[in-house]
Structure 1
Amino acid sequence: MKKKLQVFISSTYIDMIEERQAAVTAVLNAGHIPAGMELFKSGDQSQKDTIKRWIDESDVYMLILGGRYGSLDPESGKSYTHWEYDYAGEQGKRRFAIVIKDEKLMDKARENPNFMEREHYTQYQNFKSEVLNNISKFYEDIKDIKLTVMESLKEYEADDSLVGWVKSDSIQNNEKILLENTELLKENAQLSKENDILNQKLAQKTDLNGFQYAEVKSVLETTVIKLPKKVDESETEMTLFKFFVSRANLFSTGVTNSSRSNDLALYVYYNVAPKLMQFGLLEKLKVTGVQYEKIQTTKEGLRFLAQHEIEKAARIKSVKD
């Protein structure tokens, strides 16, 4: 009788729901047993032990790598997906990965900016390089995932060193696992619906050209500018955030590259504004009937400033209370 391989499917969760479901379907259609821990919350040591046991009991480890690195495991410093991948390798498991193409990733990121890693970008790139140096294939759509799964499992079926599950005394355990996975698939479908609702709520809050207020503020607070001597005798250094907030009126009325503009306006136009424009906080406007252009605060920029005022008022209130 043909042996059934247990395939542990690993990926980040929120951005890989459709891809993982396609992989599970492909594994089942190939006559094998899918397993995965995406329904468990990250960060629980007992759950990590359960993940280890599931990987230990699996014959094959499959990774679907999208554009996110995922939440970090405080013990290893790696993302949980990265940790699972390395652990499977340490246990000598057969591993193969299906990696998203850059073009597909850009499409997904346009739908939801959170599908592209920002916070741990360097770690993500290092992990991706590690994966691509081992057995891996790229995918552009769902059919690529199904095809890769079918082809890869066909090769592993011929590997005599993989025991798998066979019909004998263990048949009852086999049926139990299949039933458990059926239940997991049902729960996964329910979680997918809940996730869609959460994504809709998240999208409503993401109104700064795909960035959250806190994300933009964090970048601006870590970007330092130095005013030139012709603008400020002391050559003051300050964060881009402080400059934008303190010069809110200047940006609201706009700065131009007119020959009549003062040194401060020209410095802001050519040196500061481009840094703020990349987040959609400022925009360039063509002034009718003149040769110069104006840069002015956008609606997103005004929302950002309003959020800052709300935040500041809340801090003052908490101190008084």
Structure 2
Amino acid sequence: MVHIRELDPSGSPLAYYGYELRRAREAAGLTQGQLGSIVFCTGSLIGQIETASKVPQRELSERLDAALGTGGLFSRLVGLVLRSQLPSWFQPYAEMEAKAAYISTYQCQLVYGLLQTEDYARAVLGVEGGRLDEMVAARLERQRILARERPPVLWVVLDEAVLHRQIGSREVMREQLVHLLGLFGKPWMELQVLPFSVGQHTGLMGSFNLLRFDDRPDLYYSENYDSGHMTANPQVIRERSVGYARLQAEALSPRESAALIARVMEERHGEQAGPEARSVAEVVVQRKQRR
């Protein structure tokens, strides 16, 4: 293990975080064990973070700021650290996604990353193995843009196959569908389901996203197994915008989409869902019907 005094803070966001943590801890006159006791973790974990061998989590970063009086330094740095855990080919898109004023997405296989529950994301990312906790934390960090005072407008079209494909256990999938139902009625978001009955459609080439900004050209994004493609080519933007408009027109209305999600949840997961989950679905559908 590289000695902490040799850690280069310019090496990576994680190295910079570790360097600053050690500096702040020593300035406070605390050992790693003492600081760990204050922030409810082990001294070993503090040491691993200081040597850039462990990725810090947001909750711990907030506790470190409170314990060390660093004015939110680690709460700010942890965002950079977690984004750096995303695949290198995906990071440029994630940066633009965080700046977008309007996001339109069509998803044919999975729930869009910004709408995934933690357990659903863990099941998706666990297929590849690797540093699963870090990858899940990075995905959840992306979702923080939806908690802003002014979140981006988000329009989501999900293929019906997304609802039927079981990701993780039945319980994981049920909770994911309950989460989607809870998003209906958000003033900054619309969710539609493209039913199987549509047949052939303009999204058959695969999932894609369109990003719009207040001060820069629109972007189109798509990806394959291990790479992403992003372009601001006006012709591509024009073609895919028309294609997306057709998907919106062919998809079920938000009210009908909520009803379909609730029905799939009951039919495929009803035995384990329990009355509380069904009541959530019923309330959401009734709310949409009154709008």
TM-score (structure 1 length as normaliser): 0.24
Structure number with greater Rg is: 1
